[in-house]
A and B are shown apart, each in its own frame.
Chain A
Amino acid sequence: MTEDVVISTRDLTRHFRVGGGFLGGPARVVRAVDGVTLDIRARETFALVGESGCGKTTLGRVMLRLQEPTSGTVAYRGTDLTGLDEGAMNALRKKLQIVFQDPYASLNPRMRVGEILAEPLRSHGFGSSAEIRERSAELLEMVGLRRQYLRNYPHQFSGGQRQRIGIARALANGPDFVVCDESVSALDVSIQAQVLNLLADLQDQLKLTYLFITHDLAVVRQFADRVGVMFLGQLVEVGRTEELFAAPLHPYTMLLMEAVPRPDPHQRGRDRPILTGEIPSPMNLPPGCRFHTRCPFARDICRVEDPALQERGGRTVACHFPLNG
């Protein structure tokens, strides 16, 4: 586990204060990320899945220190990022990149593609403006766009093309670790496949490590090496993609997979269990296992004691009564 770990988090938390202030009474705390310990290995694609609001996006942001962690550590190849000052952190940002969800919001509408791609290069002192120009053109070609597009503005492109530009920007300085935050979920299915293939090719070419944040299990199955399932700020299960899909250990993982619509009507199955109930408020967590209010298998202990992450045949799960075990 220790060799070739690109990103490792230890007990990482990120809490948000809500309300409170001058006359607003006591502030309440949202535990968006609540004690995540995770190692992402070199050149793997690690998928982070979970319902909206489970903290997966926040976790991605905190890993890159786009948001400051409340406690815990993030290390990039052994360097603790949480202790770095702004200058040292910015220098490391060459290696740590992100591709965003919304291809319309992630490109400045008032900058030409050439300027958008030149900015990261300039920030890290890439070279003369002619070299920057040439590198930007190369980047465009790398993501399958014509170099002439350097002159164009973002609004002149389709969603898929914009997403490619966003990918080119992330690749500008030769990153090592890239967070893809729902990077294909805003695209049409056919375009999704193209962009996913592009990401896979780039991973091979450039030896990238991905953290793939998504709620789309079909994408995960096709694309990821390992999967982490998140629920209310915590990882409830981590495992290799095939194993996890074949035999989920955590009831939440199973219910999440059951929730995927099946195209074959014969397999539809009337009585398959469905995920019911609301996610408990992250401001007001239930005692015991966070999932017990929605878990069909919950027993007394689940309502009292929070299960710790435990090893189970090379996989980890946080459940008192793992399935398929």
Chain B
Amino acid sequence: MTSPSAPLPADAIEALEEASFLRDTVRAFRKNRMAMVGLAFVLLLVLGAVFAPWISPHDPYRVALDEQLLPASTTYWLGTDNFGRDVLTRILYGARISLVVGIVPSLISLMIGTMMGILSGYLGGRTDFVVMRLADMMIAFPSLLLAMVVMYTLGANLLNIFIALALVGWASVARVVRSQTLALREKEFIEAARANGTARITVMLRHIFPNVVPTLIVLFTLAIPEAIMWESSLSFLGVGVQPPEASWGLLVAKGKEYMFQAPAVAIAPGVAILLTVLAFNFIGDGLRDALDPSMKD
């Protein structure tokens, strides 16, 4: 609680408020050690992906049939794959695609799903019916098939992967957000806003949305690995990223054929996925706590 002090002029209070919300959030986030570790890992990964050509002495696409499936050594830190390419280099290059594929479609489906879910839950009635039946259709339809149809029709490139994944992903987000909205709608503070004549759009933006954010963060951290795996399935089926291009999903999928001769070829990119997912989870946890006013004291 604030200690008693001399009254502040109104605009000073306002300026203080805007500044202190951000500052409080940043401070709370920085206090969370795991979140900072996660953030550091993701930043490192991004740097590694961007500067891969300068960091790695190897060419990710050069085929060297005399150097197939070598074990880890000082030259090849994680060994080589079935074409004699350096695994670590390919993981770094794969991060370029996998990070983007993990984050962008998750964000898109989260945005669409949140909008649909809040509209559906808050407005109810016909809107709810239409949106939810649409979501049912999306969920009932085999998603892999749907994604493949999109990829076949539009062609295999990164943008179309985004479209396919967002199309598959928004429905489950919408369902979760809708159920949260239904619970929130019955809260008295929503009723108070209605009693004040607050416009419906304002109620949705200022009352419902901020209270859904913690769930969205959790959904986001869950959606990233899912998107990475989806990309690998599509790539595996030949409609995603095309070899010799590298993505983590593709590396795992191709590498698992050599599981017994050179386990690192499949396991190393798998570990990269795992660590990235963990890092995003930590960041998500930290963000959720930092954004919750009651956690700041």
A: which residues have CB within 8 A of B? 64, 66, 89-91, 93-94, 96-98, 100-102, 105-112, 114-115, 119-120, 123-124, 129-130, 133-134, 137, 146-153, 155-156, 166, 169-170, 172-173
Contacts and interface: CB of A to CB of B under 8 A. Distances in A.
Interface stretch (B1-9, B120-128, B223-231): B1-9
Given A107-B189, A152-B1, A124 B10 contact: no
Contacts of A156: 1, 297
Given A112-B17, A130-B11, A155-B294, A123 B198 contact: yes
Contacts of A91: 197
A106 B195 contact: no
A158 B179 CA distance: 30
Contact of A147 (B7, B187, B207): B7
9 contacts: A66-B195, A98-B192, A110-B292, A111-B206, A111-B207, A119-B198, A120-B197, A137-B7, A148-B5
B140 interface: no
Interface residues of B, number: 34
Given A109-B293, A151-B2, A166 B16 contact: no
B224 to A, nearest CB: 25
A123 B17 contact: no
A152 B2 contact: yes
B4 A151 contact: no
Contacts of A64: 195
Given A105-B187, A106-B187, A153-B294, 9 more contacts: A93-B195, A96-B195, A108-B206, A108-B210, A114-B13, A133-B11, A134-B10, A146-B4, A166-B192
Contact of A106 (B11, B188, B199): B188
A151 B294 contact: no
B157 interface: no
A31 B207 CA distance: 31
Nearest to A135: B10
B199 A123 contact: yes
Contacts of B215: none
B202 interface: yes
Interface of B: 1-2, 4-5, 7-8, 10-11, 13-14, 16-17, 20, 187-189, 191-199, 202, 206-207, 210-211, 292-294, 297
A179 to B, nearest CB: 9
B210 A110 contact: yes
A265 B268 CA distance: 80
B191 A108 contact: no
Given A108-B211, A151-B13, A119 B2 contact: no
Nearest to A99: B192
Given A91-B197, A112-B17, A100 B10 contact: no
A2 B131 CA distance: 49
B191 A100 contact: yes
B185 to A, nearest CB: 12
Contacts of A151: 2, 13, 16-17, 20
A261 B286 CA distance: 51
Contact of B17 (A66, A102, A114, A172): A114
